Amino acid sequence: MDTQARHNLVISGIGSAAGGTYQNLNVQGVAKVHGDVDCVLCLVEGVVEVNGNVKVQTMHIRGKAKIRGHVLGEDVKVDGELTIAGNCEAEKFDVAGGFVIDGLLNAGQISIRLHGRAKVREIGGEQIRVEGGPRFGLFKRGRTLSVDSVEGDDVYLEYTKARAVRGNKVNIGPGCEIDLVEYRTDFQQAKEAKITSSQRV
């Protein structure tokens, strides 16, 4: 429906802007965007807050992103902290750090490296991989992923606390506390993993 040329939105330093349809949204600093955003490329080095939904092809954040809405993207990559007050859908979801997603994380390839607290209502996807970050004494606590259910084709989890994990191939690694595992073909568990019950379906 949008046949006009898209413009770039560049915020350098501290600034705010209206939401809208853009080509590139570049933030180097601290930015607040009011309203829904529809853009092709979103690159943030710093802090961005969006009061609305985000529709994007490629989103790379180095720093913090807080979105008061849903995120719909192809390639979402965050090095730092991500907060989404809604659902997140992507083909690729790669987070190194921490995140809070109020709704469903639905992505094809999910790669999470925990360096902070992570919480999401449910996770669904194809390849799902959650790894605990480096642990140094004091920081051991709080580097867990809390999620109600994880469902995928190929699931590998570390330091995850979940009620249910379901998939074709499920591998539960160290630091996990899972109530129920349901797998179709393969199941592996680390000896330190706490799993209440597991069954083949």
Partner 1 sequence: MSLESDLISKKELLEMFDISYGQLYRWKRKNLIPEEWFVRKSTFTGQETFFPREKILARIVQIKDMKDDLSLDELADMFSPNPADVALPRSEIVERNIVTEAALGLYVERHKETTIFSFENVLYTYVLDTLLQTGDISLAEGHIVLQAMEEHYDKFRAKSGQLVFVRKLGIATCLVASSPCEVYFESGVRVVAQVHLPTCVERLKMKLSI
Binding site for partner 1 (CB under 8 A): 1-4, 7, 9, 17-22, 34-36, 38, 52-53, 55, 89, 91, 106-108, 124-127, 148-149, 151-154, 163-164, 166-168, 179-180, 184, 201
Nearer to partner 1 among residue 117 and residue 169 (C-beta): 169
Nearer to partner 1 among residue 131 and residue 154 (C-beta): 154
Nearer to partner 1 among residue 88 and residue 95 (C-beta): 88
Q: How far is the CB of 120 from partner 1 (least distance, A)?
A: 14
Nearer to partner 1 among residue 124 and residue 133 (C-beta): 124
- SS3 string of the chain? CCCCCCEEEEEEEEEEEEEEEEEEEEEEEEEEEEEEEEEEEEEEEEEEEEECCEEEEEEEEEEEEEECCCEEEEEEEEEEEEEECCCEEEEEEEEEEEEEEEEEEEEEEEEEEEEEEEEEEEEEEEEEEEEECCCCHHHCCCCCEEEEEEEEEEEEECCEEEEEEEEEEEEECCCCEEEEEEEEEEEEECCCCEEEEEEEC
